[in-house]
A and B are shown apart, each in its own frame.
Chain A
Amino acid sequence: MTAAALPLVEQFSYGLDAPICLTWELTYACNLSCVHCLSSSGRRDPRELSTAQCQAVIDELQRMQVFYVNIGGGEPTVRPDFWDLLDYATGHDVGVKFSTNGVKITPAIARRLAGHDYVDVQISLDGATAGVNDAVRGPGSYAVALRAMRHLADAGFAGFKISVVMTRHNVGQLDEFRALADSFGAQLRLTRLRPSGRGADVWDELHLTAGQQRQLYDWLVEHGDSVLTGDSFFHLSGYGSALPGLNLCGAGRVVCLIDPVGDVYACPFAIHPAFLAGNVRDPGGFARVWRESELFAGLRQPQSGGACESCAAYGACRGGCMAAKFFTGLPLDGPDPECVHGHGERVLAMADTAAAPRPAGDHSHRTSPRRDPVPLTLSRRRPAEPAQPPSARSGDRGPGVPGVVPRGSRAGGRPPGLAGPARAMLRECGVLAAVLAVTAVLTVLTPPAAPARAAGPARAVPAARELAGHPRSG
Chain B
Amino acid sequence: MACAVSTERPRASFDLDAAWQLAAQVQVRPERFGALLYHFGTRQLSFLKSPALLAVVRGLATQPSARAACRAADVPDAQLASYRRALGTLAAAQMICRREAT
Contact = CB atoms under 8 A, between A and B. Distances in A.
Interface of A: 3-4, 6, 8, 11, 16-18, 20, 65, 67-68, 93, 95, 117-118, 120, 436-449, 453, 458, 464, 467, 471
A445 B50 contact: yes
B64 interface: no
Given A4-B34, A8-B33, A441 B83 contact: no
B49 A448 contact: no
Nearest to A120: B43
Contact of B48 (A95, A443, A447, A448): A443
Q: Chain A at the B interface: mostly helix, strand, loop or mixed?
A: loop
Interface residues of B, number: 36
Contacts of A20: 36, 45
A442 B31 contact: no
Given A11-B33, A95-B40, A441 B89 contact: yes
Nearest to B81: A453
Given A4-B51, A11-B33, A443-B49, A448 B78 contact: yes
Ranked nearest first, the 9 interchain pairs of A and B with the lowest CB-CB distance are A440-B45, A438-B43, A67-B38, A65-B29, A4-B50, A446-B82, A11-B33, A441-B93, A445-B82
Contacts, number: 103
A442 B89 CA distance: 8
Contacts of B11: 458
Interface string B16-43: 0000000000010111111010101111
A287 to B, nearest CB: 13
A68 B82 CA distance: 30
28 contacts: A4-B50, A11-B31, A17-B31, A65-B27, A65-B36, A67-B27, A67-B38, A67-B40, A67-B45, A68-B43, A95-B43, A120-B43, A437-B43, A440-B46, A441-B44, A441-B89, A442-B47, A443-B47, A443-B49, A443-B86, A443-B90, A445-B49, A445-B86, A446-B82, A448-B76, A464-B85, A467-B89, A471-B45
A441 B12 CA distance: 16
A474 to B, nearest CB: 9
Given A65-B29, A93-B27, A439 B43 contact: yes
Contacts of B79: 445, 448
The residue among B29, B47, B48, B79 with the most chain A CB atoms within 10 A of its own CB is B47
